[in-house]
Amino acid sequence: MRELGPTQYQIVLACTDLIARAGGRQFELGYLHDDVPVDQAGWYAHVQYRGVRLFVEDQPGPAEAADALARKLLTGGRCRCGRLVALSRDGAITYEDATMADGSRWTVAQARAAGQCLWRRVGARWEPACPPPVNPNRPPRRERRRRR
């Protein structure tokens, strides 16, 4: 089996990191066929996420399988900023009414009204475009400076 290049390795890491953050379980990445060229091995990836099994298959390599799975995991999700996760700037997202992690329903109309937050892979991590949420437990700015 060929070694993963640095970029491919980061793609796989970004996928596992995303799964860990999203609370996905039983992540599996593998291939079906031995003794064939690597791009014909039938790479697949799956993960258990919110009671659903997400699955990608027939990918040309492990990085492609991990990337496709990460995109599937992100598609239709709601970002921490309350907007819909977008994976490209064209905003062409198919979206259906969804039940969120807290059990609430999120309709197409609500998702559209919320707008979109562009997510992209930065090295070994998927990152949203929105700034990190302010932590209410963080000490005021002046105090933080003094501690340095």
Which residues bind to Zn ion, rule: CB under 5 A?
79, 81, 117, 128, 130
Distance of closest approach, residue 54 Cβ to Zn ion, in angstroms: 21
Distance of closest approach, residue 84 Cβ to Zn ion, in angstroms: 9
Kindly tell me which of 4 and 114 has the beta carbon lying closer to Zn ion: 114
Structural contact between residues 24 and 47, judged by C-beta atoms closer than 8 angstroms: yes
Kindly tell me which of 13 and 130 has the beta carbon lying closer to Zn ion: 130
Distance of closest approach, residue 116 Cβ to Zn ion, in angstroms: 9
Exposed e or buried b for every residue in 47-64, given b needs 16+ CB within 10 A? bebeeeebebeebebbbb
Give strand pairing partners of 144: none
Q: Is 57 helix (H, G, I), strand (E, B) or coil?
A: strand
Kindly tell me which of 4 and 22 has the beta carbon lying closer to Zn ion: 22
Q: How far apart are CA 142 and CA 126, in angstroms?
A: 32
